Amino acid sequence: MGIVVNLDVMMAKRKMSLNELSEKVDLTLSNLSILKTGKAKAIRFSTLSALCKALDCQPGDLLEFEEKASDSPF
C-alpha cells in the first residue's frame, strides 16, 4: 500500500463536503479527488498545511503508512 490518504475520513468527521473543502483550501475539485482516492503521487507541504488548517487536524490524521507484503525484507 505505502502511503494511505485518509482525507475522506477527516472530511466525514468534520461533516465537510468536497466542494466546501475545495473553497477553503483553494484547490480544484479534481485535485482534491485525486488526493482523496489515493491516486496522488505527491503533496506539497503548503497544500498539506491548508488541509490541516481547514480540517482542524494534524498531518498524521490525513496520512499514514501501510507496509506492503512485498516491502517486507523477510
Instruction: Give the domain ranges of the chain.
Output: 2-60
CATH topology of domain 2-60: 434 Repressor (Amino-terminal Domain) (1.10.260)
Using CA atoms, how far apart are residues 68 and 55, in angstroms rounded to an integer? 28
Q: What is the pLDDT of residue 68?
A: 76
Give the burial class of 37: count Cβ atoms within 10 A of its Cβ; 0-12 exposed, 13-18 middle, 19 or more buried. exposed
Please compute Rg for the chain using Cα positions.
13
pLDDT tens across 60-70, in order? 999 999 987 66
Higher local confidence (pLDDT), 72 or 60: 60
Residue with cell 507541504: 45
Cell output for 72: 517486507
Confidence of residue 72 (pLDDT cuts 50, 70, 90): low
> How far are the Cα atoms of 52, 72, 73 from residue 23, in angstroms, in the given order?
14, 40, 43
Q: What is the pLDDT of residue 67?
A: 86
pLDDT tens across 12-51, in order? 999 999 999 999 999 999 999 999 998 999 999 999 999 9
